[in-house]
Structure 1
Amino acid sequence: MDLQCKESSLGRLSEQDCLNLKAKVMELNTNMARLNMWWKQRAKVKWLNEGDGNSKFFHSYDSSRRNSNKIIKIKDEDGWLVEEQCQMEEVFLRFFQKKWEARRSNLEGWPTNTNSMNSWDKNLLDAKLSMAEVEEVVQQLGGNTSPGNNGISHTFIKVYCEIIKEDFWKAISYFFIHGKLDNEWK
């Protein structure tokens, strides 16, 4: 605190004071992280001790979670409170039907199709995907991240690109033709 007050009054700190301040901030962050971990572990211990049993803690926790996700009553369009489930469903249904029945869109000022894309852009979008484009994208991928739940990382794809290139290309082509991946290619 003294170092921060000194910095605010003088406008800057000496090199030694700056190093001391950085060390104190790092010590504070470390202690806060430890305290955070302690609270997380303490909460889990309490849940393990009292949560799985048929206890008052378990039932109050479960009831609280269930009640926070439940709509108990609503006001209808006339301002009357409705508490019955079937009546609440009717109020919601009437509200959304009325909300969307007479919607009009103003398209004034929006660009026409000819203004939005030129012929070069349209041809680029219509062009077939090439293997060179796929290889370029593969080389630009990040490191050890996996886009799916199969655990195959981008690094694996990059390293073994020459070996898996043909099968990879077949899978991508199948996807662009059919809009889905066949189990054979997953």
Structure 2
Amino acid sequence: MEVFSGGGWGGFVLKEKLRLIKGRLRWWHQQHSQNLERKISQVNERIKSLDVKVEQLTLEEGGEVELHDLSVELLSLSKLNSSIQWQKSRVNWLREGDAKSKSFHGVMASRRRSNAIIALAMNNHIVEGVAPIKEAIFQHFLSHFRATVGNHPKIDNLAFKSLSVEAGADLVKQFQLEELKQAVWDCDSYKSPGPDGLNFGTS
């Protein structure tokens, strides 16, 4: 005979409920989850046999309803199988981890070590330590990219050749008709063909 206090009795009831739930879940798993691949294969074979009868016009009465029900069952079994496989993969991942994690972290650690700067030789002396190396690199690039102030050559006192006002005006005046005729008459008759391949001599 066992005597339970208030809290102890509640714990006993909860334990019994969990035991019953475990038994129900085991029964459900045996009825629905076990041999899923075999069940899917059997449903597929039955659907194929009914499809053959449909093509041969020998499908018996009620066969269309059975074919529809089998299609629904196949979809349900496939979804259940996919869900179980996904859950198994997550359990395996949580238990074993990613198989490539160790290799990946090893590669990253090796690359970090090879890229690490332990010491620098600057101005005939060795710089060591994280902070001194950072400061030395900063000062090195600062000196290269700092704007320098210097004397640049100027063109204020340089003398360039320039056209007179009259010559500059000749560059922008209108062409005369006689000038155009002279330019055309001076062209060789058998040179400079146009886009159509014809020149002055053949046009």
In the superposition, the TM-score normalised over structure 1's length comes to 0.27
In the superposition, the TM-score normalised over structure 2's length comes to 0.25
Decide which structure has the larger Cα Rg and report it: 2
